[in-house]
């Protein structure tokens, strides 16, 4: 949906999810997992994805993994920077947790795709009720996973 970010945040709790890059197996796993949880749980907060890429790339990706999902293109990483998102180091990108996560994501049927955008960017996940951050997950590595199913429990 075109418009300003504040227009996307309507005052109710929402989950802001910062994706890595569309070729990332963990990015694909995140979107698929969140879609399944949100479709199963009517109390799950609305999800707003952020991605580093063009709106055209974002529409194509979301059409495949979660049609109708809301997503914001941030090719210059301004919103990523505003939320403190950083690039990962070698251990965060290739360490033991990433190898284990790779097996987990592939076991769910996710595959690696063509790399695009900043492949070193770490993911992020924030539950917000504008302007407050109610909960955040600090990713230890690229394959780290918050307990998405428990997010509604974080809403006061």
Q: Examine residue 5 and state whether it is found in any structural domain, yes or no.
A: no
pLDDT digits (tens, 9 = 90+) for 57-109: 999 999 999 998 999 999 999 999 999 999 999 999 999 999 898 888 888 88
pLDDT digits (tens, 9 = 90+) for 9-57: 777 899 999 999 888 899 999 999 999 999 999 999 999 999 998 999 9
Peptide bond into 3 cis (omega under 30): no
pLDDT digits (tens, 9 = 90+) for 63-74: 999 998 999 999
Number of domains in the chain: 1
Residue 73, domain extent: 11-151
Q: Examine residue 1 and state whether it is found in any structural domain, yes or no.
A: no
Q: Examine residue 62 and state whether it is found in any structural domain, yes or no.
A: yes
Which CATH number goes with the domain that contains 111? Answer: 3.40.30.10
Question: CB burial class (10 A; 0-12, 13-18, 19+) of residue 155?
Answer: middle
């Amino acid at each position: 949906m075109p418009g300003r970010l504040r227009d996307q945040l309507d005052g109710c709790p929402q989950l802001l999810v910062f994706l890595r890059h569309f070729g990332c197996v963990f990015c694909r796993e995140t979107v698929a997992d969140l879609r399944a949880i949100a479709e199963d749980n009517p109390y799950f907060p609305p999800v707003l994805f952020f991605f580093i890429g063009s709106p055209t790339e974002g529409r194509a990706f979301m059409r495949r993994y979660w049609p109708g999902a809301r997503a914001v293109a941030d090719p210059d990483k301004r919103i990523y920077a505003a939320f403190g998102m950083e690039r990962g180091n070698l251990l965060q990108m290739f360490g033991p947790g990433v190898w284990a996560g790779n097996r987990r994501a592939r076991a769910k049927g996710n595959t690696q795709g063509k790399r695009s955008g900043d492949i070193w960017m770490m993911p992020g996940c924030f539950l917000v009720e504008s302007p407050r951050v109610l909960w955040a997950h600090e990713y230890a590595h690229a394959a780290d996973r918050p307990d998405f199913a428990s997010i509604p429990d974080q809403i006061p």
